[in-house]
Amino acid sequence: MEAIIETFSTYGWDLLMKTGEHMYISFAAIFLGVIVAVPVGVFLTRIPAVADRLISFVGILQTIPSLAILAFFMPILGVGMTPAIIALFVYSVLPILRNTYTGVKDVDANVLEAAKGMGMNNIETIRKIELPMALPVIMAGIRFATVYLIGWATLAAFIGGGGLGDLIFDGLNLYQPELIVLGTIPATILALLANWGLSLLEKRMTPEPLRETA
């Protein structure tokens, strides 16, 4: 315990900086994942013949080890935060894309027919009917991706991307378990807080009639 307190007093400022870097890497990647995967997921519901093939292809990318993805982008983008964010973005796409496609596809056809009967065009139907009704499923994919990306972001340290992984790998290299703990606990807390915060956001954004079933 004394060793951990001493380590915290020594590396306290580094811990704050690395936590900020970790949050930036994680949330930048998930933001990119959302702005790409949600529109593509909605678009794929219009072309179901292509949807299964594309989602399967993205699923194949998910099977590539994260370190291999990081190494792949190094010759192209160099080292630092940028290749780390792009690699994590690749890993964020599948759960968000799959859940968006599933949620929108499963919207009740009778509701969509009623929307057309009211004179809504395709964009209005997506914005006012499909996305709100699919939101619980979409948010589940976003929460899943966010929690896992916060954990995987520790690997950014391998390519100089910063984050809490720096403390963890320094602890491994220097045989200082207290440094490993100092990097691991904040990453775990960030994942839990992100899951909790996104759950609250989902409840606030979900239309009232759907909240009981979400």
- The pLDDT tens digits for 13-34 are 888 999 999 999 999 999 999 9
pLDDT for residue 214 is more than 50: no
Domain count, the chain: 1
What whole-number percentage of the chain has pLDDT above 70?
Answer: 93
- Which domain CATH number covers 42? 1.10.3720.10
Question: What are the angstrom distances between the C-alpha of 111 and each of 42, 118, 121, 124?
Answer: 17, 11, 14, 13
The answer to whether position 19 is within a domain reads yes
Report pTM.
Answer: 0.85
Q: What is the mean pLDDT of the chain?
A: 86
The answer to whether position 122 is within a domain reads no
Q: What is the mean pLDDT of residues 57-79?
A: 81
**pLDDT band for position 156 (cuts 50, 70, 90):** confident
The answer to whether position 72 is within a domain reads yes
In 3D space, the residue among 131, 54, 66 whose CA is nearest the CA of residue 97 turns out to be 54
Instruction: Count the neighbouring beta carbons within 10 Å of the beta carbon of residue 180.
Output: 17
The answer to whether position 7 is within a domain reads yes
pLDDT at residue number 191: 93
Joined tokens for residue 100: 């968006």
Name the residue range of residue 84's domain.
2-106+134-206
- The pLDDT tens digits for 105-128 are 998 888 888 888 888 888 889 888
The answer to whether position 175 is within a domain reads yes
Instruction: Count the neighbouring beta carbons within 10 Å of the beta carbon of residue 132.
Output: 16
The answer to whether position 118 is within a domain reads no
Q: What is the mean pLDDT of residues 183-188?
A: 92
**pLDDT band for position 211 (cuts 50, 70, 90):** low
**pLDDT band for position 3 (cuts 50, 70, 90):** low
The answer to whether position 177 is within a domain reads yes
The answer to whether position 185 is within a domain reads yes
pLDDT at residue number 212: 53
